[in-house]
Structure 1
């Protein structure tokens, strides 16, 4: 059996408290592997009016963070406090197989990351065109579902052609997608 470089990694995880609830970031010295939005607080309990920067903190795992995990935490802190500034920040390195190579999923995710900026949205259809296969609208949806690093690669910015926000996290995170889109639109209004 062939072993991938990811299977040889010593992964560490850090838990963060954010306006979206708990976020878990895992990675190794080579880069970030995954970001998971854990949805630990039901939307009806969460205060959507909370100040983003005051509700972001590292809750567990800080003592074992690699430089790339630390870089990711700093990026996320900036995103939740001043999202319009992250376009000027370097992203942490990614170390997940879906983000490397020339597979369609990787191409779609890299196109989204490169082309759709904070406060912008793109339709599934347009993203398929941008990634070089205009007929692959459903495959773009699949790529969004397989995105290992949401927030860093902004799958929440992909919407339906009708302008509706569409589903997020299999429909369980639609309220999070709407919060993220509103958070990005509020740029500079403070």
Structure 2
């Protein structure tokens, strides 16, 4: 198996992070996890995976992965096995500049991560209320589009007030969102 790919990325705080990227085969397709020694930077889902599996298989040698990357892979494998088991694991550390400050986006994403549990959904308007700006439902949508770590910060759980699922990954992942919501509902019963 190939070893993780490595690159340097400059953070907003000015320090360079040595990052590694690992791919995970999942029911959604290929998931690319980019991490440094401080935590996970990004998660990208590529749904065009012709040979993806029902479980999760790490496509790289985990012995060479940063501990924070291993933590993220472990958490994602547990999520796809049974989302209800993830609360028994330590939450993977997220080390992305967008979450290192006190911006509105960071506030919304942290609120979503801490207040909306597996199997639950929340409307954009309700999430705006929970984050302290009740009239900012549209801004919540903007924050969801900036989420660097879908699944860890469960933006798929944010739905329309009308009860519709709404878009996911810019509208290209709407079927993925429906799959994730159903996956959580089925294992929450």
- TM-score norm. by structure 2 comes to 0.89
* Aligned-pair CA distance for 1:35: 0.3
Distance 1:120 1:46, change over 3 A: farther
2:19 aligned to 1, 7, 11, which one? 11
2:47 maps to 1:39: yes
**Matched residues in 2 for 1:151 and 1:21: separation?**
13
Partner SS for 2:33: strand
* Aligned-pair CA distance for 1:92: 1.2
* Aligned-pair CA distance for 1:60: 3.0
Distance 1:12 1:46, change over 3 A: closer
Equivalent position of 2:5 in the other structure: none
**Matched residues in 1 for 2:73 and 2:150: separation?**
13
**Matched residues in 1 for 2:129 and 2:174: separation?**
25
Distance 1:65 1:5, change over 3 A: farther
**Matched residues in 1 for 2:85 and 2:11: separation?**
39
Contact 1:33–1:94 under 8 Å retained in 2:
yes
Contact 1:17–1:23 under 8 Å retained in 2:
yes
Equivalent position of 1:130 in the other structure: 130
**Matched residues in 2 for 1:139 and 1:28: separation?**
29
What are the Cα deviations for residues 86-141 of structure 1, in whole angstroms up to 9, with x where unaligned? 12221111110111221000000000000000000000000001000011111100
Contact 1:87–1:117 under 8 Å retained in 2:
no
Greater length-normalized contact order (CA 8 Å, ≥ 6 residues apart) = 1
Give runs of aligned pairs for residues 22-171 of structure 1, distance below 5 A.
Answer: 22-41=30-49, 52=54, 55-60=55-60, 62-171=62-171
**Matched residues in 2 for 1:24 and 1:137: separation?**
29
Gaps of 5+ in 1: none
Partner SS for 1:187: helix
**Matched residues in 2 for 1:160 and 1:85: separation?**
27
* Aligned-pair CA distance for 1:150: 0.3
Equivalenced residues, count: 180
2:29 maps to 1:21: yes
